[in-house]
Structure 1
Amino acid sequence: MQKSRVVTVLLVIALGASLAWWFVGPRQFDAPVVSASTQPTHEARPRSDALPVVHSSDAEPAPLPVDALPLPEEDDAATQYAAELRYPSYSQPYRQPLHPADETQYTAVAVEQQDGSQWSLALQKYRFYQPEALVFTLSYPTDLPLAQLKLEVLSQGQERLLAQTSVAATTGTQLWQLSAGIDWPEELVLRVSSGSGHSIRAPFEWVRPVATITQVQQASVQGEDLEIPLQLKTSETGLYQIQGLLMANGAVIARLVETQTLRQGSVRAVLKAHGSVLPTTTQALTVTALRLQRMSPAPDVPPRFGNSAIAEAGIGEFGQSDVSFQPYQPSAEEQQRLQFLRGQ
């Protein structure tokens, strides 16, 4: 009888411990606490397929149905995809929540030094194209008794020193004209340090462009689309994705994307704007933020990037009345994907 009571007591103790663990949980699974005085560095890379945020002005874009696009706070995948299916994938209305920033946006790295001083380092953009100069902005307390700063370029991961120079200690925007070695990787780190123990670093890419857009020609109407011919020079044959923003009187109205196989050499490609994204009245149109990417041909081969020698180009005056088009009809594959996202 006494033995039975002992067993009962042990079972009650074990049950109580289990309930306590269930409600409190083990501490090792808690998120780490970051103190306010410690600023983590931000080395997150932007998406390679996104485009710069361009602020809208007073141009008149094509009117959209009230439910054509999700509100910024909506994150339902089915709702967003249904909104995108109102337009062809190669010609989507531009909305900043759907098309975040890319290599032209850079979040400054902030570091508290051992002496308590706050340093900040930001590059002009994340991806530079050779032979562009490296442009960065450095900030630190101006009352520090510094005479010189050392600039270094390192390879990411292996920390191999590739280039270094010394400059007068100063805050603000600075320029460093690098001369890349043939064996340089494209993913690099800029490190700025002083002789007094201060140090700060920021990641970036310095890319050998695989292709360059050399010319943007006047647009013409072809069926339901406005076609924009491009001239390119490519160093490699492959499948390329070309992107650009369509603007009307200074306001971004559409994001254009084209995927095309291009051979090596001087080639031609076309961006298309569907009539549904054009302004309702005839307006002067331009394309900007042109960029391209050679898609990865195999899992172990990374994508490569190209640039544009044309920052912005006028393509003529057009409006919806110049193009004969019907509302876009999603393909069977697109409708099937939407049903899947809706759980149907």
Structure 2
Amino acid sequence: MMISALVALIIWFSMTPDVNAESMVLGETKLVVTVPKVIEEEKVTTLAASEPNDPVEKMQVETAAQNIAIGYRESLKFAPYSQPLTVNDKDRLNPNKFIPISTPIFGEEQPVSLSLNKFRFIKPEPVEVWLEGDGIQSAQVQVGIVGEKNTVYSAELQVNGGRAETTLAAINLPIGDISVKAIADINGQEVILVAHAKYMKPSAKLINVASVAVEQSDLLISLQLDVQEAGIYRVRANLYDGELPLAHLVGKRKLGTGKEFITLKAHQSVIPQAAKALELRTFVVERMSSIPGEGTRYGTSEITDAALPDVDISKLDRTPYTPSEKELASLAFLEQLAGAKN
């Protein structure tokens, strides 16, 4: 069987349990890879046995691995729980953004597009739906479960010029992966667009920032949650200095029900010494899958931003981040796959 560069990536991702498949598809997760504690002899043997013989194939595999290795080596300058963030990291700055569904219309200069206000919704949030394009005469939406033919709810859109819109209330929305089908009359042409989204019961609620403290090279930020469903939780947030994005922070912990806490850590390497207005934004609360076939659940947040005014960052130990043995083993594996010489 021919092995391509894509297969090399699949091999690597299959050995990366901390990278959630769904978040990769949604563009939430960047390549912050984690290698198994031990690369077993069986896996090494399997990889060696399946190495491509074709020179072009081998070059593709090595080039793909080299690119990953270069990116990973750069990421090791920073702690994996505290990666730098810039204005260009759109997926992390807006992780729940819905990408509009568009189609060209015969005889019209502009396409018509279907949009939702976001991709993931937590009950009882409403879902905002709108169509944009020239020549919209009328439109309606039909809501159902993805993969099923039955319509659970339908509604007419209010047309105003080149926009038609409506708001779907929680009482009319099913739990699960939902489809929102828009059927529009565009100057006598019937146009159908379908959007998919997730509508879920909440698993936990982020209440507030409980405390902030300096511990050696890390800024520790303790978050309080009200957990409805116990499990392994991952909380993400973006650290800002005023309007300047600094870092994407990730914390993970097994939580029980009720009042629980999870800690985010910001390493000194992402906090400028001149920072004056540290603030957390863009909270994402995930209950991670614990068994095969179980999907990721999401929670809500009572806060959209949280200032960290009382922290004294001058107390941070400015020692550079030192990669762990696990991370160094990860890099060594990638460089071996890339054909790098030690």
* Fold similarity call, TM over 0.5: yes
Equivalent position of 1:106 in the other structure: 98
Maintained 8 Å contact 2:218/2:268: yes
Equivalent position of 1:36 in the other structure: none
1:141 deviates by: 1.6
Distance 1:199 1:227 in 2: 50
Equivalent position of 2:142 in the other structure: 152
Q: Equivalent of 1:169, from 159, 162, 169?
A: 159
Structure 1 position 278 matched with structure 2 position 258: no
| Pairing 1:57-72 to 2, within 5 Å after superposition | none
Equivalent position of 2:226 in the other structure: 233
Maintained 8 Å contact 1:213/1:232: yes
- C-alpha deviations, 1:61-103, integer Å up to 9, x for none? xxxxxxxxxxxxx981111111111122111111466773564
Equivalent position of 2:9 in the other structure: none
| Pairing 1:209-224 to 2, within 5 Å after superposition | 209-224=202-217
With over 3 angstroms needed to count, the CA separation of the structure-2 counterparts of 1:169 and 1:175, relative to structure 1, is: closer
Q: Equivalent of 1:88, from 72, 79, 84?
A: 79
1:185 deviates by: 3.8
Higher helix share: 2
Equivalent position of 2:296 in the other structure: 303
1:193 deviates by: 1.4
RMSD: 2.7
Structure 2: give runs of 5+ residues left out of the alignment: 1-23, 31-64, 337-341
Secondary structure of 1:76's match?
helix
Q: Equivalent of 1:135, from 114, 124, 128?
A: 128
Once the two structures are overlaid, the 10-residue window that deviates more, 192-201 or 159-168, is 192-201
Secondary structure of 2:98's match?
coil
Maintained 8 Å contact 1:191/1:199: yes
With over 3 angstroms needed to count, the CA separation of the structure-2 counterparts of 1:105 and 1:309, relative to structure 1, is: same
Once the two structures are overlaid, the 10-residue window that deviates more, 156-165 or 172-181, is 172-181
Maintained 8 Å contact 2:287/2:298: yes
1:224 deviates by: 2.2
Maintained 8 Å contact 2:153/2:172: no
Equivalent position of 1:193 in the other structure: 183
1:311 deviates by: 0.6
Structure of greater Rg: 1
Q: Equivalent of 1:79, from 70, 82, 96?
A: 70
- C-alpha deviations, 1:176-206, integer Å up to 9, x for none? 1323469x34211111214653322211112
With over 3 angstroms needed to count, the CA separation of the structure-2 counterparts of 1:186 and 1:49, relative to structure 1, is: farther
Structure 1 position 126 matched with structure 2 position 154: no
Secondary structure of 1:169's match?
strand
1:338 deviates by: 0.5
Task: Give the number of aligned pairs.
Answer: 274
Equivalent position of 1:21 in the other structure: none
Percent identity, aligned pairs only, is 24
Equivalent position of 1:178 in the other structure: 169
Maintained 8 Å contact 2:78/2:321: yes
Structure 1: give runs of 5+ residues left out of the alignment: 1-43, 51-73
- C-alpha deviations, 1:79-128, integer Å up to 9, x for none? 11111111221111114667735643222211235776842112222112
Once the two structures are overlaid, the 10-residue window that deviates more, 245-254 or 115-124, is 115-124
With over 3 angstroms needed to count, the CA separation of the structure-2 counterparts of 1:45 and 1:165, relative to structure 1, is: farther
| Pairing 1:237-316 to 2, within 5 Å after superposition | 237-316=230-309
Distance 2:71 2:255 in 1: 32
Once the two structures are overlaid, the 10-residue window that deviates more, 103-112 or 306-315, is 103-112
Equivalent position of 1:46 in the other structure: 26
Equivalent position of 1:70 in the other structure: none
Maintained 8 Å contact 2:242/2:278: yes
Distance 2:81 2:90 in 1: 14
